[in-house]
Structure 1
Amino acid sequence: MSSSSHHHTDPTFYRTPAEAIAAPAEKLAYVVAFDRGAQRPDALTAIGTDPESDGYGRVVGWTDLPTRGDELHHFGWNACSSSIAHAEHHAGGLHRRYLLLPGLRSSRIHVYDTHADPARPALVRTIEAAELAERAGYSRPHTLHCGPTGIYLSCLGGANGSDGPGGIAVLDHDTFDVVRAWETDRGPQHLAYDAWWHLNHNTLITSEWGTPSMIEDGLNPELLLGNQYGHALHFWDLDAGRHVQRVDLGAEHQMVLELRPAHNPDATWGFAGVVVSTADLSASVWRWYRDGDRWNAEKVITIPAEPADPEDLPPALKPFGAVPPLVTDIALSVDDRFLYVSCWGTGELKQYDVSDPSQPREVGSVRLGGITRRTPHPAAPDEALSGGPQMVEVSRDGRRIYLSNSLYGSWDDQFYPDGVGAWLAKLDTDPDAGGGLTPDPRFFPRGAEFHGLRVHQVRLQGGDASSDSYCFA
């Protein structure tokens, strides 16, 4: 890379995970919030994360969408550290500047520029559902990552909300135009959810949830007990868009959701979270790994269900007399040492030392909320909390963990029928001391601060553990 192009490189692009860890801490967290009733606009909020500032732990920026009924869910940056290895596309002109906000219900994507006023991003582009349908054949956009040839956007539904197959749309890095469907040969893949990669190994991995009709009205008990939700991982040729291998985790392992590949670009392993086992209501985490010229997966963490009085359970769970952990998100620290596992049902965030990824060791746990426990936050010891640790985000240096409490509108209503509320928590940990989790009593925006909207995913200014890929070890 010439010095002139390096001069223009975004300072938040890091050559290696170690450089990212050593970089300055985030000053803002972006959090999307949605109106379950679709009566008011969803919003992109900014939360102060600088402990020295007056706005610490508070909403310091609020941007309403121009539309209603989007159901903001996951969102992400237009570019990340992997751009350094693809500089020929942009000669250093690409910056981590725009946030793309897919609407899981509307299939619209709003693009916001954070450059002029980071706390109040400006809308620069709206991609309508029709463009996603016509150019890529998809709907229900879910998760995005900046990749080698554009922005990769995983989608749960086929064109106009049809039941699929779901897959990946490629968006132009600069214009955000929808270019095409990424897959050239999808093999047996039909269900979609997450997509991420081992860039240096030309491998993309996808996971499975369900089609729009399987998820949009809530969890369907008949489909669940019939093991009809996703239970496999798919491995692809990244350059060719060609399906290479399907790895079935077993039909009882329902809903293989978040994928967290190792950040070390030389590694060929990662973790996948499984929401629930229909055999015993446990949740699990699996490690995938390269095995010769094939891919394999093994269960490395099992989290059992917790017995409960049926009287205390929502209708969906009364017949079982237990609270399933419902692992709905996982996050792997940038140094690949700690894995965080959200148990949204039981209201727990678990921390594992995964220095040996084949043998995770639990080293920390915090309880907040939960279907029956309703564990309060230390900042408000008298407030019973609804929801539980759901989307989890880890700072680049691995010392701060951010949690939001809503899963997905219709599913919130099933498992927390008295209301899921809205809250965001921050936990502190010390990687040098081997882990352990402590809620920050100064950081607990909730309820009225979000004006009745529910909060979902968190993205950190300058990048975070779940949105950055690195190309150099």
Structure 2
Amino acid sequence: MNLRPDPTFYPSPKMAMEAPAESLAFTLMLSPDASQPDGLAVIDVDPTSKTYGEIVHKVIMPNKGDEFHHFGWNACSSALSPLTGHAFLERRYLIIPGIRSSRIYVIDVKEPLKAKIHKIIEPEEVFAKTGYSRPHTIHCGPEGIYVSTLGGGGKDGTDGPPGIFILDCESFDIIGRYEIDRGSQDKHYDFWWNLPRDYMVSSEWGLPPQFENGIVAEDLLSNKYGHRIHFWNLRQRRNVQTIDLGENHQMALEIRPAHDPAKNHGFCGVVVDTTNLQGAIFTWWQKEDGTFEAKKTITIDPQPASPDDLPDLLKGFEAVPPLVTDIDLSLDDRFLYVACWGTGEMHQYDVSDPMAPKLAGKVEIGGIVKQTKHPNGKAFGYGPQMVEISRDGKRVYWTNSLYSTWDDQFYPGDRGGAMVMANAGADGGLELAEDFWVEFPEGYRTHQIRLEGGDCSTDSFCYPSV
């Protein structure tokens, strides 16, 4: 325990934006065929360094078949909440769940170039103490570490609904389930909150049989994936409202509330509209009476394509859907980044008016049909996927793998892991950095990124910006 709050904890988003630039990034490596253990790569992102853009340390796990996907910190700026009992924690540990194994690793990165495994929580403990499986998203809250899951109990994860459980942020013991009253929530994916306003928002992907062996085309065309977002009273741990975005809006994934807690809106990305193959972004907001509404504010059209250029799954459509698989919001709540994994595009929207976003920048790289190369001439396999923004909003990093079995369906053949960075203009605009390209070991793909000291999908703030 520190004798003062960690210097990387900031009361407001504006103060976090003024923090020193990151010099390291942490990126997950996964072995899609489970022939190798998954790992964590520590990457030099300091442009003045001789090893800029290189992996400078790796932590390789002792097990195979975990399938690393999302991960997060043990503690962040939420520790400064007036409700916390943990103001003197360090941002020291990364919590990495295996989405396929249900095993959780706690990695000590106090000395990043000597990062090591601190603790392993075996799947049997997760099952026994929560009744959940397939842990997914990690968020550090004032009272502990929140872990969302994609599966319930039983071998196929359908014995009861998935949900959220809480880890102790010092011992990393499993405390138990979050939900007291889940209402109609029966699928899960992402979640996040507005701490002072005491509400949480969660989203839906699908149940394990719908994603573990690849997308189930029949379920997609029958609109059986998730298409709702759920609003919770955070402290009472109960679902207070559910909004159906429309059953054609399949796979409501990433939840991105405004970082400034004085603001009362946020965004949710939808992978595909089954009526027209569009991708979509919904803006949700809380009204004066405390209830919530949501409205579709961004649509991204599919692109025509020859069946000969398409994977089997898409041949009959003669088009490439954008496949909105990740979104991220800059700390000043001005720019929303939207990863179009299918078409190979990263979009930047000015969301100063959250009800009327405007396209401010775009980069093309990868893509099912376009297969646009990086400015350095190298092929970028797959498309833009997990995106992370520096605290000052000037650098936007992303990787290229979605989920092993889905990669194989949409992009047959192994395309390799990659991580790139784009420079963002102060008033919009996006340009790939030609000198930043991370090579990953053969046989590994890459997913989520965390930045040293915090980033735009990690920290939640308790005090408004001034």
Q: Which moved more, 1:251-260 or 1:120-129?
A: 120-129
What residue in structure 1 maps to residue 399 of structure 2? 404
What residue in structure 1 maps to residue 361 of structure 2? 364
Match of 1:222 among 194, 215, 218: 218
Partners of 1:237 and 1:81 in 2: how far apart?
21
Partners of 2:63 and 2:115 in 1: how far apart?
16
TM-score with structure 1 setting the length: 0.96
Match of 1:74 among 55, 64, 70: 70
Match of 1:304 among 301, 305, 317: 301
Partners of 1:396 and 1:202 in 2: how far apart?
24
Partners of 2:285 and 2:52 in 1: how far apart?
40
User: Is the CA contact 2:84–2:142 (under 8 Å) kept in the aligned structure 1?
Assistant: no
What residue in structure 2 maps to residue 354 of structure 1? 351
> Tell me, what secondary structure is at the counterpart of 2:114?
coil
> Tell me, what secondary structure is at the counterpart of 1:201?
coil
What residue in structure 2 maps to residue 436 of structure 1? 429
Q: What are the superposed Cα offsets for residues 123-174 of structure 1, whole Å, 9 maximum, x if unpaired? A: 1110111111111111000001011221110000012442141110111111
What residue in structure 2 maps to residue 378 of structure 1? 375
Match of 1:242 among 238, 242, 247: 238
The alpha-carbon deviation at position 198 of structure 1 amounts to 1.0
What residue in structure 1 maps to residue 263 of structure 2? 267
Partners of 2:332 and 2:3 in 1: how far apart?
26
The alpha-carbon deviation at position 420 of structure 1 amounts to 3.0
The alpha-carbon deviation at position 6 of structure 1 amounts to 9.3
Partners of 1:439 and 1:238 in 2: how far apart?
39
The alpha-carbon deviation at position 293 of structure 1 amounts to 2.4
What residue in structure 1 maps to residue 438 of structure 2? 445
Does residue 1:338 correspond to 2:335, yes or no? Answer: yes
User: Is the CA contact 2:325–2:385 (under 8 Å) kept in the aligned structure 1?
Assistant: yes
> Tell me, what secondary structure is at the counterpart of 1:463?
coil
* One-letter code aligned to 1:289: W
Q: Which moved more, 1:388-397 or 1:140-149?
A: 140-149
The alpha-carbon deviation at position 398 of structure 1 amounts to 0.3
Match of 1:27 among 16, 23, 37: 23
* Correspondences of 1:49-448 after superposition (within 5 Å): 49-86=45-82, 88-90=84-86, 92-115=87-110, 117-160=111-154, 161-163=156-158, 164-291=160-287, 292-379=289-376, 381=377, 383-431=378-426, 434-446=427-439
Partners of 1:165 and 1:398 in 2: how far apart?
37
Q: What are the superposed Cα offsets for residues 280-330 of structure 1, whole Å, 9 maximum, x if unpaired? A: 000000000012321010000000100000000000000100000000000
> Tell me, what secondary structure is at the counterpart of 1:413?
helix
Q: Which runs of 5+ in 1 are unaligned?
A: none
Q: For this pair of structures, how many residues does the alignment match?
A: 461
Partners of 2:84 and 2:372 in 1: how far apart?
51
> Tell me, what secondary structure is at the counterpart of 1:14?
coil
Partners of 1:88 and 1:75 in 2: how far apart?
22
Please provide the CA RMSD for this pair.
Answer: 1.2
What residue in structure 2 maps to residue 472 of structure 1? 463
Task: Summarize the Cα distance change of 1:252–1:88 in structure 2 as closer, same or farther, 3 Å threshold.
Answer: closer
Q: Which moved more, 1:60-69 or 1:79-88?
A: 79-88
Partners of 1:429 and 1:14 in 2: how far apart?
23
> Tell me, what secondary structure is at the counterpart of 2:434?
coil
User: Is the CA contact 1:334–1:396 (under 8 Å) kept in the aligned structure 2?
Assistant: yes
Partners of 2:208 and 2:3 in 1: how far apart?
45
The alpha-carbon deviation at position 240 of structure 1 amounts to 1.2
Partners of 2:371 and 2:84 in 1: how far apart?
52
Q: Which moved more, 1:227-236 or 1:292-301?
A: 292-301
Partners of 2:179 and 2:20 in 1: how far apart?
38
User: Is the CA contact 1:413–1:419 (under 8 Å) kept in the aligned structure 2?
Assistant: yes
The alpha-carbon deviation at position 385 of structure 1 amounts to 2.8
User: Is the CA contact 1:191–1:208 (under 8 Å) kept in the aligned structure 2?
Assistant: yes
User: Is the CA contact 2:3–2:88 (under 8 Å) kept in the aligned structure 1?
Assistant: no
What residue in structure 2 maps to residue 40 of structure 1? 36
Q: Which moved more, 1:212-221 or 1:412-421?
A: 412-421
> Tell me, what secondary structure is at the counterpart of 1:427?
strand
Match of 1:455 among 405, 423, 446: 446
Work out the percentage of aligned pairs sharing the same amino acid: 50
Q: Which moved more, 1:128-137 or 1:454-463?
A: 128-137
The alpha-carbon deviation at position 88 of structure 1 amounts to 4.9
> Tell me, what secondary structure is at the counterpart of 1:441?
strand
User: Is the CA contact 2:84–2:143 (under 8 Å) kept in the aligned structure 1?
Assistant: no
Partners of 1:86 and 1:293 in 2: how far apart?
22
User: Is the CA contact 1:400–1:427 (under 8 Å) kept in the aligned structure 2?
Assistant: yes
Partners of 1:332 and 1:53 in 2: how far apart?
28
* One-letter code aligned to 1:452: G
What residue in structure 2 maps to residue 9 of structure 1? 5
> Tell me, what secondary structure is at the counterpart of 2:81?
helix
User: Is the CA contact 1:28–1:119 (under 8 Å) kept in the aligned structure 2?
Assistant: no
User: Is the CA contact 1:109–1:128 (under 8 Å) kept in the aligned structure 2?
Assistant: yes
Task: Summarize the Cα distance change of 1:6–1:133 in structure 2 as closer, same or farther, 3 Å threshold.
Answer: closer
Task: Summarize the Cα distance change of 1:320–1:264 in structure 2 as closer, same or farther, 3 Å threshold.
Answer: same
Task: Summarize the Cα distance change of 1:244–1:87 in structure 2 as closer, same or farther, 3 Å threshold.
Answer: closer
